[in-house]
Structures are given as structure tokens and as C-alpha cells.
């Protein structure tokens, strides 16, 4: 049987995928919780993107192996090992925004384009996660890949199968989200793999504190879905704030002294909601406030971290084959 037909024009294939704000449920998208109790995540894609440039070589001597482990794994998985990959990100490394999954989804989309393979957003998400789990042994969940592939706001249900539901956002809701939610990078690099493994071990051991917290986090994520669907940003903020109390109870390393101090400072400045993003242990935090208090909250947050501008990413992964190199 003939192998896949590759695009070998020498022109780079450019693909980009957004990162995300994980509002809630982010620990319930990891097996075995998914198929034993049913996970649920609510997240929002943002215009902090990973961009990859893939140049397919017609012969091994024309390409250069990627030095990034994820790119190397994706190329090996696809059979494009001689190809050249360049990666650019407009977000800090280890920011807890699902950046590695954004790279993975962008790579999956570029590879699909190069091999003339038709994939919908869900298949690109699943392909990206398979590379992380099967090739690299990363103990992560599903939600980051889906956010990168689909874009927009999502309600994600994880059982024996995965289902993504787009949450329509009115222009007024988008404006309010962008005005009331502040994103801050703490400057600390998170250790998501170790933290996730520790929480999963506690879940497998049926530690009541962890099981109860995960169940409540999944329920709060469902409530966040409803709040977004009805444009109730204040209700979303309330759910985010409650979610943080359960999230931080999962493991002592989820919060850090800097995150704790940042929370104290911004609450004094008027914050109404707070949570660490991703697995935490550093990375970024999300702060909720009224639009009137946002400037004061951002000024306070800037004393302990880097305030990152952001916009809602209505689109997920994008592919272009006619752009210049990065």
C-alpha cells in the first residue's frame, strides 16, 4: 500500500491556535475521573496564540529535525521526520494557558494540511492529545486541545466519549468579559505533570477531600456554562471564586506564596473572584472584578506579576499555506 501523499512545494504551511482561560472543571477532564464519574469543563479561548511553520522536505537532506520535543514527536507520529518546524508563541512559557496544547493542535492542523487529510476540530484535538500522551507520556487532560481547536467559549463533557458544545457569546458579553477579567502571569513556572499525577493518585485512592472537590468543580463548571450562555458575567465570577477554594484544596502545591499574596492584594483592590489557571504551582491567575474596579485591580496585580492583555478568540486553529516564514 502506498504511504500518504505529502505536500512538498517548499512553501511553509503556517498554522496558529489560541490558548485558553480555564474557568472551571479543569481537573475533571483527566482519566480515570472522566469515565468513572463524568468530567465537565468550561473554558474560553483567547488571542494569545502558538504559531508553527511546517516545511515539508521531499528528501531527508532537505529538512532539519525539530529540536522541540513536541514537534519532534508530532513529526515522528506523522511520518514527516525530515520536515522543518519553527514555533513562535505570544505568551510566556509555563503560563498555565494550555500553550503546549496550542502548539500541538497547530502542528496537527499543519500536518493534516501537508498530508491532504481532512480533520474536523474534534479530531485535531484528539490527535494532538494522543501525541502528548502516547509519544511524550504527558499526564494531561483533554480541555486544552479542544479550546485550541475550536476557539470561542466551550462546555466540554468528558465520559467514555468527549463532547464539545459551543457557547454563543453576545457582543455585549464579550465586551464585559474583556473588561472584567484580568489575566496575570506570576513569573513562576508551574509543574503540571507532577501536580496532576499527585492529584490523580489521591483520586484513585478515593481520598474523600479530593473526590468531593472534583465533583463540586465539575458541577461549578456546568453552572459557568449556563452563566456564559445567558450573559451573566457576575454569576460566572462567583462560580470562579468558589471553584478556587475547591481547586486549591486538591494539593498543597497548587497555590504558592506569591499566588496567595497576589490574591490578598487584588481582593483589597476590589476583586470579586480569583483562581489560578492550569495545574498551577505558578503560571497565571485569573482575577474577576467589576469594570469600574478593573484598573485599580490591575495596578495592584502589577506589583506582583505581569498583567497580560487578552481578547476572546472566536476562532480556533487556523491554517495558511501562502504566508511567509516566521
d(C-alpha 217, C-alpha 271), whole Å: 21
pLDDT for 94 equals 87
pLDDT for 282 equals 86
Give the tens place of pLDDT for each residue, 14-34: 999 999 999 999 999 989 999
The pairs formed by 237-240 with CB atoms below 8 angstroms and a separation of 24 or more are 237/180, 237/272, 237/273, 237/288, 237/289, 238/272, 238/273, 239/23, 239/24, 240/23, 240/24, 240/273, 240/274, 240/275, 240/286, 240/288
Give the tens place of pLDDT for each residue, 25-64: 999 998 999 999 999 999 999 999 999 999 987 655 444 4
Q: Is residue 195's pLDDT more than 50?
A: yes
d(C-alpha 298, C-alpha 185), whole Å: 12
Give the tens place of pLDDT for each residue, 257-276: 999 999 999 999 999 999 99
Containing 134, the helix (H) or strand (E) segment is none
Average pLDDT, the chain: 91
Q: Mean pLDDT lowest for which of 37-46, 62-71, 93-102, 316-325?
A: 62-71
Grid look-up 483527566 returns 30
CA distances to 51, 56, 106, 154, 273 from 86, in Å = 8, 12, 11, 29, 38
d(C-alpha 247, C-alpha 4), whole Å: 44
CB contact at 8 A, 148 and 105:
yes
The greatest distance separating any two alpha carbons of the chain, rounded to the nearest whole angstrom, comes to 67
| The residue count for the chain | 326
Q: What percent of the chain has pLDDT over 70?
A: 90
pLDDT for 193 equals 65
Q: Which domains does the chain have, with CATH numbers?
A: 13-169+313-320 (3.30.230.10), 171-308 (3.30.70.890)
Q: Is residue 313's pLDDT more than 80?
A: yes
For 150, the 3-state DSSP assignment is: helix
- Per-residue pLDDT band for 191 (boundaries 50, 70, 90) equals low
d(C-alpha 268, C-alpha 299), whole Å: 12
Amino acid at each position: 500500500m502506498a504511504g500518504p501523499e505529502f505536500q512538498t512545494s517548499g512553501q511553509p504551511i503556517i498554522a496558529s491556535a489560541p490558548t485558553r482561560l480555564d474557568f472551571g472543571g479543569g481537573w475533571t477532564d483527566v482519566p480515570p475521573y472522566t469515565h468513572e464519574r463524568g468530567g465537565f469543563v468550561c473554558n474560553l479561548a483567547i488571542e494569545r496564540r502558538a504559531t508553527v511553520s511546517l516545511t515539508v522536505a521531499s528528501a531527508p537532506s532537505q529538512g532539519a529535525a525539530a529540536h522541540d520535543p513536541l514537534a519532534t514527536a508530532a513529526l515522528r507520529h506523522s511520518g514527516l521526520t525530515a520536515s522543518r518546524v519553527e514555533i513562535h508563541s505570544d505568551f510566556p512559557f509555563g503560563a498555565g494557558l494550555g500553550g503546549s496544547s496550542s502548539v500541538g493542535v497547530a502542528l496537527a492542523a499543519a500536518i493534516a494540511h501537508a498530508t491532504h487529510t481532512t480533520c474536523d476540530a474534534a479530531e485535531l484535538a484528539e490527535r494532538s492529545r494522543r501525541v502528548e500522551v502516547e509519544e511524550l507520556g504527558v499526564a494531561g487532560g483533554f480541555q486544552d486541545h479542544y479550546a485550541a481547536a475550536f476557539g470561542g467559549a466551550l462546555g466540554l463533557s468528558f465520559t467514555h466519549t468527549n463532547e464539545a458544545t459551543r457557547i454563543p457569546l453576545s457582543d455585549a458579553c464579550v465586551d464585559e468579559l474583556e473588561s472584567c477579567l484580568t489575566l496575570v502571569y506570576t513569573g513562576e513556572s508551574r509543574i503540571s505533570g507532577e501536580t496532576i499525577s499527585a492529584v490523580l493518585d489521591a483520586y484513585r485512592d478515593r481520598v474523600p477531600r479530593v473526590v468531593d472537590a472534583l465533583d463540586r468543580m465539575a458541577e461549578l463548571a456546568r453552572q459557568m456554562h449556563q452563566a456564559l450562555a445567558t450573559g451573566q458575567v457576575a454569576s460566572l465570577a462567583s462560580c470562579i471564586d468558589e471553584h478556587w477554594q475547591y481547586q486549591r484544596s486538591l494539593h498543597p502545591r497548587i497555590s504558592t506564596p506569591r499566588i496567595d499574596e497576589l490574591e490578598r492584594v487584588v481582593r483589597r483592590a476590589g476583586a470579586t473572584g480569583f483562581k489560578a489557571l492550569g495545574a498551577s504551582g505558578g503560571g497565571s491567575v485569573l482575577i474577576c472584578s467589576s469594570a469600574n474596579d478593573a484598573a485599580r485591580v490591575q495596578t495592584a496585580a502589577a506589583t506582583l506579576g505581569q498583567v497580560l492583555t487578552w481578547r476572546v478568540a472566536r476562532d480556533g486553529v487556523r491554517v495558511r499555506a501562502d504566508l511567509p516564514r516566521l
